[in-house]
Structure 1
Amino acid sequence: MKKIKTYEHKKILVLGLAKSGVSAATLLHRLGAFVTVNDYKPLHENPEAQGLLQQGIKVICGEHPIELLDEGFQIIVKNPGIPYSNPMIQKAVEKGIPIITEVELAYQVSEASIIGITGTNGKTTTTTLICEMLEKGSKNPLIAGNIGTVASEVAQTATPEHNMVIELSSFQLMGINEFRPHIAILTNLYDAHLDYHGTREEYALAKANITKNQTEDDYLIVNGDQPHLINLIQASNAQKIYFSTKKIVENGVYIENDEVKYLDESIISVKDIVLPGAHNLENILSAIAAAKLSGVSNEAIKEVLSTFQGVKHRTQFVKSSRGRKFYNDSKATNTLATKSALSAFEQPIILLAGGLDRGNDFDDLIPYLHNVKAIITFGETSEKLLETAQKAGIDRRIPVDNVESAVPVAFELSNEGDIILLSPACASWDQYRTFEERGDIFIEAVHKL
Structure 2
Amino acid sequence: MNWRQKKVVVIGAARSGLAAAKYLAERGAEVWLNDLKERSELPAEALTELEERGVRLVLGQHVRLATLLPQLVIVSPGVPFEAPPLVEAREKQIPVWSEIELAARVTRAPIVAVTGTNGKTTTTCLLEKIFRDADYHTFTGGNIGTPFISKAEELTAQDLAVLEVSSFQLATTEEFHPHVAIILNITPDHLDRHYNLEGYIAAKAKIFAKQTAEDWLILNWDDEETVAMAARARTNVLFFSRIHILDKGFYVDDGWIIAKVEDQAVPIVRVEDLQIKGGHNVENALAATAAAWVMGVAASNIADSLRTFQPVAHRLEPVLTYRGVRYINDSKGTNPDAAIKALDAFSEGIVLIAGGKSKGSDFLPFAWKIKEKVKALVLVGEAAPEIDAVVRKVGYQNVHYAESFVDAVHRASELAEKGDIVLLSPACASFDMFTDYEQRGDVFKELVRQLAKC
Structure 1: runs of 5 or more not aligned: none
Q: Which residue in the other structure is 2:28 paired with?
A: 32
AA aligned to 1:317 is P
Query: Relative to structure 2, which stretch is displaced further, 14-23 or 259-268?
Result: 14-23
Deviation for aligned residue 1:361: 6.7
Deviation for aligned residue 1:99: 1.1
Q: Which residue in the other structure is 1:335 paired with?
A: 336
Deviations along 1:108-131, one digit per CA (max 9) or x if unpaired, are 222322111111111111111111
Question: Is 2:38 aligned against 1:42?
Answer: yes
Contact 1:375–1:394 (CA<8 Å) still a contact in 2? no
Trace 1:48-447 onto structure 2 (pairs within 5 A).
Answer: 48-66=46-64, 68-263=65-260, 264-357=265-358, 362-369=363-370, 370-390=372-392, 396-447=398-449
Query: Relative to structure 2, which stretch is displaced further, 78-87 or 162-171?
Result: 78-87
Contact 2:319–2:327 (CA<8 Å) still a contact in 1? yes
Distance 1:404 1:108, change over 3 A: same
AA aligned to 1:18 is A
Determine the C-alpha separation between the residues in 1 that align with 2:385 and 2:191. 24
Query: Relative to structure 2, which stretch is displaced further, 112-121 or 32-41?
Result: 32-41
Deviation for aligned residue 1:317: 1.5
Contact 1:13–1:76 (CA<8 Å) still a contact in 2? yes
Determine the C-alpha separation between the residues in 2 that align with 1:299 and 1:233. 29
AA aligned to 1:206 is A
Determine the C-alpha separation between the residues in 2 that align with 1:417 and 1:233. 44
Deviation for aligned residue 1:227: 2.9
Determine the C-alpha separation between the residues in 2 that align with 1:256 and 1:127. 24
Distance 1:25 1:360, change over 3 A: closer
- Give me the TM-score of the superposition, normalised by structure 2: 0.92
Q: Which residue in the other structure is 2:18 paired with?
A: 22
- Aligned-pair Cα RMSD in Å: 2.1
SS at match of 1:142: strand
Determine the C-alpha separation between the residues in 2 that align with 1:93 and 1:381. 33
Distance 1:149 1:413, change over 3 A: same
Contact 1:139–1:296 (CA<8 Å) still a contact in 2? no
Deviations along 1:133-159, one digit per CA (max 9) or x if unpaired, are 112111122110111111111314323
AA aligned to 1:432 is F
Identity %: 38
Deviation for aligned residue 1:406: 3.0
Contact 1:102–1:152 (CA<8 Å) still a contact in 2? yes
Determine the C-alpha separation between the residues in 2 that align with 1:75 and 1:384. 41
Deviation for aligned residue 1:161: 3.2
Contact 1:113–1:162 (CA<8 Å) still a contact in 2? yes
Structure 2: runs of 5 or more not aligned: none
Determine the C-alpha separation between the residues in 1 that align with 2:224 and 2:395. 34
Q: Which of residues 1, 4, 7 is equivalent to 1:8?
A: 4
Determine the C-alpha separation between the residues in 2 that align with 1:376 and 1:24. 41
Distance 1:65 1:109, change over 3 A: closer
Contact 1:400–1:406 (CA<8 Å) still a contact in 2? yes
SS at match of 2:413: helix
Q: How many residues align?
A: 444
- Give me the TM-score of the superposition, normalised by structure 1: 0.93
Determine the C-alpha separation between the residues in 1 that align with 2:210 and 2:360. 38
Distance 1:319 1:265, change over 3 A: same
Distance 1:363 1:272, change over 3 A: same
Distance 1:160 1:436, change over 3 A: same
Contact 1:241–1:252 (CA<8 Å) still a contact in 2? yes
Contact 2:230–2:237 (CA<8 Å) still a contact in 1? no
Determine the C-alpha separation between the residues in 2 that align with 1:112 and 1:344. 36
SS at match of 1:36: strand
Deviation for aligned residue 1:167: 0.6
Contact 2:335–2:361 (CA<8 Å) still a contact in 1? no
Determine the C-alpha separation between the residues in 1 that align with 2:319 and 2:310. 10
SS at match of 2:22: helix
Query: Relative to structure 2, which stretch is displaced further, 227-236 or 283-292?
Result: 227-236
Query: Relative to structure 2, which stretch is displaced further, 201-210 or 368-377?
Result: 368-377
